[in-house]
Amino acid sequence: MGLDFQKNLGDTDRAVRMVVGGFLLGLAASQTIAGPWAVVAAVFGASQIIEGYYGY
């Protein structure tokens, strides 16, 4: 019994994830949000960009 995962992202979903990720990274980098929330936004933004790029 093996796991067979298939890609489940369309082009639109990938683009939206990358835009949202870039926006969150921008907020953290410009210090619009600060402290622990900036770290959370940066990590979540980076993960969205990675997921959008690789399509998972």
Per-residue pLDDT of 7-43, as tens digits, reads 666 888 889 999 999 999 999 999 999 999 999 999 9
Which tokens sit at 47? 């993960």
- Maximum average pLDDT range among 6-10, 46-50, 52-56: 46-50
Tokens 């980076």 belong to residue: 46
Tokens 């990938």 belong to residue: 14
Give residues with Cβ within 8 angstroms of 27, minimum separation 6. 33, 38, 41, 45
Domain boundaries, the chain: 11-54
CA 30, CA 15: separation in Å to the nearest integer?
A: 22
Give residues with Cβ within 8 angstroms of 43, minimum separation 6. none
